[in-house]
Amino acid sequence: MPQYADIAIIGAGAAGLAAAIFAAESNPSLQISLLDGAKSVGAKILVSGGGRCNVTNQKVTASDYHGSRKIIDRILRRFTEDDTLRWFDALGVPLQTEPTGKLFPVSNKARTVLNALIDRCQKLSITLLTQHRVQSITYQEPTFVIQHAHGILQAGTVIVAAGGRSLPKTGSDGLGWDLVQQLGHTVTPTCPALVPLLLDASFFHTELSGISHEVTLITRVNERVVDRRTGSLLWTHFGISGPVAMDASRFWVLAHEQGHHVQLHLNSVPQSTHQDVENWLMQASTLPGRQTIQALLVERLPSRVAIQLAKFLNPNLGLTPVNLLQKHTRNALTHALTNLPLPVTNSRGWNFSEVTAGGIPLEEINPSSMESKKIPRLYLIGEMLDCDGRIGGFNFQWAWSTGYLAGYHASRAYKDKNTQETNTHE
């Protein structure tokens, strides 16, 4: 077991593996140790993208993330989605773009991604220490003392890539924040993001379990709209999931945890306003024949959703002919179609969340290198930072970009130091 490393990286997830590879490639003579508490690394990579690993997106901008966008933009520009594509190609993992813009390995297997990263680490002689959970890091100038499950490792430079708290059974359980707080960093309030939401049992979601359709979700905090997004919603036995619900969840969860009044509203006929729907219902009522409300709704909604929505308002509504609709019922139906309050009781929590909202403020790091502004030669990367992306490969891109910057600069700092020393001796 090594006693010293030039660069010690805490956490061998996506960000830590990337940092290790880029550090070793920039300066192959360095001793690099990658410590992880888990028995086998990369668990999150393996479960990602339904086991296919959505590595990045064809277009990545700071607006795909929540956090300090100016800083996020500076970081992403230094290692872009195109760099990711080329890098994986060089690692022997060609990527392909799907119509949604998401990039997956051609193999369609997350395992290919993880194996390529681990193989590259081995080729570069990076020491991978699994079951080495780090309990504390202290800075005793000029070295760091890392206390881990099997003893102590001293290091000239430390990169912390310990993740957030999403899916804690993979090894990222929030301890990383304690480690950096001990070193003087702060952590903003954190909560699960990209997480399914639970609905009150009295609602009709259980009847719709398994159905997905295009909707708009609107989040209001203290009556003010903070988020509005359109996409695919999946009804489940517990509530709602699918990309649009997952992306919206951070707003509901954050506001809820901060004690604000938060409401989620559903528009089941996306792109249509209250007025559009009212016009549609009025027009339908003038048509010949006795079309029922249910039959009319089915023109725009999956039939089970149409039936349950009408039933929710009134058990007899579905079979009522459209032309017999009274004004107050038409208003209630229009409202239910465009602005239905969803009785969210909570999120499914950390065990089902894909990412963490909140973390170490980006203002505490130097965005051109990911070096801490508080302690020299300490670098902070990946999900533990206060930045979370939407669904679509953006969170891995954040891991690759921040990993690249920290790995490259941590290693270059040694090169620069060696060059200076050589020059002094001449």
Ligand X SMILES: Cc1cc2nc3c(=O)[nH]c(=O)nc-3n(C[C@H](O)[C@H](O)[C@H](O)COP(=O)(O)OP(=O)(O)OC[C@H]3O[C@@H](n4cnc5c(N)ncnc54)[C@H](O)[C@@H]3O)c2cc1C
Q: Any idea what the Cα angle at residue 417 is, between residues 412 and 419, rounded to 5°?
A: 95
| C-beta separation of 162 from 190 below 8 A | no
Pairing of strands 143-148, 134-140: antiparallel
The DSSP output letter for 399 is H
Looking at the Cβ atoms of 6 and 354, the one nearer to ligand X is: 354
The position carrying tokens 């690759």 is 400
Footprint of ligand X on residues 251-310 (CB under 6 A)?
none
Looking at the Cβ atoms of 96 and 314, the one nearer to ligand X is: 96
Segment contacting ligand X by CB under 6 A, of 5-13, 60-68, 80-88, 279-287: 5-13
Per-residue x/- mask for ligand X, residues 51 to 80, rule CB under 6 A? --xx--------------------------
Assigned token pair, 413: 């700092």
CB of 314 to ligand X, least distance (A): 40
Q: Give phi and psi for 86, each to the nearest 5.
A: -65, -40
Q: How far apart are the first and last CA of the chain?
A: 36
Residues 6+ apart with CB under 8 A from 81: 56, 57, 58, 59, 60, 103, 397
If you compute the radius of gyration of the chain from its CA atoms, what whole number of angstroms results? 25
Assigned token pair, 107: 């193999």
CB of 335 to ligand X, least distance (A): 35
Looking at the Cβ atoms of 13 and 318, the one nearer to ligand X is: 13
CB of 353 to ligand X, least distance (A): 7
Per-residue x/- mask for ligand X, residues 175 to 194, rule CB under 6 A? xx------------------
Per-residue x/- mask for ligand X, residues 83 to 122, rule CB under 6 A? ----------------------------------------
CB of 238 to ligand X, least distance (A): 16
Q: Give phi and psi for 35, each to the nearest 5.
A: -105, 135
Among 5, 7, 14, 248, binds ligand X (CB under 6 A): 14
CB of 333 to ligand X, least distance (A): 38
Q: How far is CA 209 from CA 213, 234, 267, in A?
A: 12, 8, 18
> DSSP 3-state helix, strand, coil percentages of the chain (rounded to 5)?
40, 25, 35
Q: Shortest CA distance to 29 belongs to which of 354, 411, 426?
A: 411
d(CA 34, CA 248): 35
Per-residue x/- mask for ligand X, residues 340 to 379, rule CB under 6 A? --------------xx------------------------
CB of 149 to ligand X, least distance (A): 8
Footprint of ligand X on residues 316-345 (CB under 6 A)?
none
Segment contacting ligand X by CB under 6 A, of 14-22, 74-82, 259-267, 327-335: 14-22
CB of 127 to ligand X, least distance (A): 14
Per-residue x/- mask for ligand X, residues 385 to 404, rule CB under 6 A? --------xxxx--x-----
Q: Give phi and psi for 360, each to the nearest 5.
A: -75, 125
CB of 172 to ligand X, least distance (A): 3
d(CA 356, CA 174): 10
CB of 118 to ligand X, least distance (A): 12
Residues 6+ apart with CB under 8 A from 386: 67, 68, 188, 358, 359, 360, 361, 362
Looking at the Cβ atoms of 243 and 270, the one nearer to ligand X is: 243
Looking at the Cβ atoms of 231 and 270, the one nearer to ligand X is: 231
Q: Shortest CA distance to 268 belongs to which of 197, 341, 357?
A: 341
Footprint of ligand X on residues 16-45 (CB under 6 A)?
16, 35-38, 41, 44
Looking at the Cβ atoms of 306 and 381, the one nearer to ligand X is: 381
Footprint of ligand X on residues 133-172 (CB under 6 A)?
133-134, 161-163, 166-167, 171-172
**Binders of ligand X: how many residues, by CB under 6 A?**
38
Q: Give phi and psi for 40, each to the nearest 5.
A: -130, 140
Residues 6+ apart with CB under 8 A from 260: 221, 222
CB of 383 to ligand X, least distance (A): 4
- For 374, the 3-state DSSP assignment is coil
Q: Tell me which residues touch ligand X (CB under 6 A).
A: 10-16, 35-38, 41, 44, 47-49, 53-54, 133-134, 161-163, 166-167, 171-172, 175-176, 354-355, 382-383, 393-396, 399
